[in-house]
Amino acid sequence: MGTTPGSFYSMFVKPNFDDYLARPDDIRLGFNASITAFQLRDILFAFYRKHHPAKLRWKDLPEFHRDLVTREPLFLTVQSVATVYKHLHPNKGFYEVGSPGALWALRVPSIDLKATWDNTKGDVMVRRRQDGTDISLTAALSAVVEKLWPSILPTEEA
């Protein structure tokens, strides 16, 4: 049957999130965690549409997406970070690489990502250009990876 939503979550989404938590000031790790956390949306919908359509509560992917955002509005932040990475072009962006190779800042037309530090830990702040709000990527990923996906993923049979 191939990759299931549960196996994708346990093999990619959760480990990428854990890697990011170990170095939450590294935007590159934040990208990896965001991409897999967002991609699980497509994987889950396609898998259940093909193999278990009776388990789907949504008629199409846009309806599923709206439900995810209603359940967890920070899903949009994770989507924004994943989408920025997909559309990053050298001539439209600026990035700052720190030591040892951590990505500390990224500026593109739609959003800014900047690593920040306080006395105890780092984080990546996502600034949305449309409204100027700052959102913690750690908070967004925690909400999606640790709360949203476990509440949505159906139990899989071995």
7-55 residue pLDDT tens: 999 999 999 999 999 988 777 888 899 999 999 999 999 999 999 898 8
Calculate the alpha carbon distances from 73 to 77, 113, 145 in Å.
8, 19, 13
Structural domain of residue 71, as residue ranges? 5-152
Tell me what pLDDT residue 154 has: 84
What's the one-letter identity of residue 88?
Answer: L
Tell me what pLDDT residue 62 has: 95
Q: Are residues 9 and 112 in contact, defined by beta-carbon separation less than 8 angstroms?
A: no
> End-to-end distance of the chain based on CA atoms, in angstroms?
11
Q: Report if residue 85 sits inside a domain.
A: yes
Q: Are residues 24 and 138 in contact, defined by beta-carbon separation less than 8 angstroms?
A: yes
Handedness of CA 65, 70, 76, 82 (dihedral sign): negative
Tell me what pLDDT residue 28 has: 82
- The mean pLDDT of 123-142, rounded to a whole number, is 74
Domain count, the chain: 1
Q: Report if residue 157 sits inside a domain.
A: no
Say if residue 84's pLDDT is above 60: yes
Cβ neighbour number for residue 36 with a 10 Å cutoff = 22
Q: Report if residue 110 sits inside a domain.
A: yes
Tell me what pLDDT residue 101 has: 46
Distance CA 9, CA 148 (A): 12
Q: Report if residue 146 sits inside a domain.
A: yes
Q: Nearest 5°: CA angle at 54, between 52 and 58?
A: 105
pTM for this structure?
0.80
Tell me what pLDDT residue 95 has: 47
pLDDT band per the 50, 70, 90 thresholds, residue 82 = confident
Tell me what pLDDT residue 75 has: 95
Q: Report if residue 132 sits inside a domain.
A: yes
Q: Report if residue 114 sits inside a domain.
A: yes
Q: Report if residue 158 sits inside a domain.
A: no
Q: Report if residue 84 sits inside a domain.
A: yes
Sheet holding 122-128, edge to edge: 94-97, 103-107, 111-117, 122-128, 134-136
Tokens of residue 133, six digits: 């709000």
Residue corresponding to tokens 């899903």: 75
